């Protein structure tokens, strides 16, 4: 399998990360021999807006929102949150965006199940969800873009991040659900979560 696994220990600047992804996408489209990519990292605190967000979803006008090319609405990235970016050539697989999203969702769901956390996807609302006391919380967000059947951007999982930042926005444009992190659900050691995610992603993405 010709996939590069990249792990960054120090926080990565958001714009620099997206520029890196865009460059890799172009190289794959131009058939310059670059590998596909799975990249695990963390960002410093940043608000980003996808292609369908609007200013009404900003509750605190003092914040700066970086517009980005991924799909979706407005979200926050920062310390305590695991981000996984990818550049995947769907020309090598089935040209089915919904199936690709299902692969990502199933990888997250199975990973969380190893921590005895039951989660689920939602056909109407992209991402991964956790239900408690008849309330539904978002635990993982996803935003992708596909260019000439090369899929990129990725997803984020809230581990022990400060949830106060989500009060400054309408996260993912969803008004009737809240955001949660893994520590709020169950305090335990999540140090191996990256390894578990990598295992499931690679298993699903075999070509």
Q: Give yes or no for a contact between 168 and 58, defined as CB atoms under 8 angstroms apart.
A: yes
How far is it, in rounded angstroms, from Cα 188 to Cα 205? 29
pLDDT confidence band for 175 (50 / 70 / 90): confident
Mean pLDDT for 152-174 is: 95
> Percent of the chain beyond pLDDT 70?
99
How does strand 128-132 pair with strand 3-7? Answer: unpaired
Instruction: Tell whether the model's pLDDT for residue 207 goes beyond 60.
Output: no
Q: pTM to 2 decimals?
A: 0.94
Q: What is the dihedral of CA 61, 65, 67, 71, to 10 degrees?
A: -90
Parse the chain into domains and list their residue ranges: 3-204
Question: 99-125, pLDDT tens digit by residue?
Answer: 999 999 999 999 999 999 999 999 888
Q: What is the CA radius of gyration of the chain?
A: 16
Mean pLDDT for 141-146 is: 94
The reported pLDDT for the residue numbered 1 is 65
Using CA of residue 31, residue 32, residue 36, residue 38, what is the dihedral sign?
negative
Q: What is the dihedral of CA 74, 155, 85, 83, to 10 degrees?
A: 90
Q: Which positions are catalytic?
A: 172
User: Which residues sit opposite 47 in a β-bridge?
Assistant: 65, 76
Instruction: Tell whether the model's pLDDT for residue 8 goes beyond 90.
Output: yes
* Phi, psi of 27, deg, nearest 5: -65, -40
Instruction: Tell whether the model's pLDDT for residue 58 goes beyond 60.
Output: yes
Look at residue 52 and give its three-state secondary structure.
Answer: coil
Residue 24: name the closest of 148, 145, 152 by CA: 152
How far is it, in rounded angstroms, from Cα 171 to Cα 167? 8
**CATH 3.30.930.10, domain 3-204, yes or no:** yes
Angle at 138 between CA 50 and CA 85, to 5 degrees: 50
């Amino acid at each position: 399998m010709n996939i590069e696994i990249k792990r960054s220990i120090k926080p990565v600047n958001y714009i620099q990360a997206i520029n890196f992804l865009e460059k890799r996408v172009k190289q794959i489209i131009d058939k310059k021999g670059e590998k596909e990519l799975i990249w695990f990292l963390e960002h410093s605190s940043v608000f980003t807006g996808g292609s369908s967000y609007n200013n009404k979803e900003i509750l605190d006008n003092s914040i700066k929102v970086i517009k980005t090319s991924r799909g979706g609405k407005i979200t926050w990235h920062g310390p305590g949150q695991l981000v996984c970016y990818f550049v995947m050539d769907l020309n090598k697989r089935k040209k089915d965006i919904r199936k690709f999203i299902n692969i990502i969702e199933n990888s997250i769901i199975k990973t969380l199940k190893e921590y005895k956390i039951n989660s689920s996807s939602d056909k109407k609302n992209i991402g991964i969800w956790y239900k408690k006391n008849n309330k539904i919380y978002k635990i993982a967000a996803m935003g992708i873009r596909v260019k000439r059947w090369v899929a990129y951007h990725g997803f984020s999982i809230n581990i022990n991040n400060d949830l106060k930042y989500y009060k400054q926005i309408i996260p993912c444009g969803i008004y009737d659900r809240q955001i949660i992190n893994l520590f709020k659900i169950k305090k335990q050691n999540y140090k191996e979560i990256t390894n578990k995610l990598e295992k499931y992603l690679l298993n699903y993405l075999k070509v």
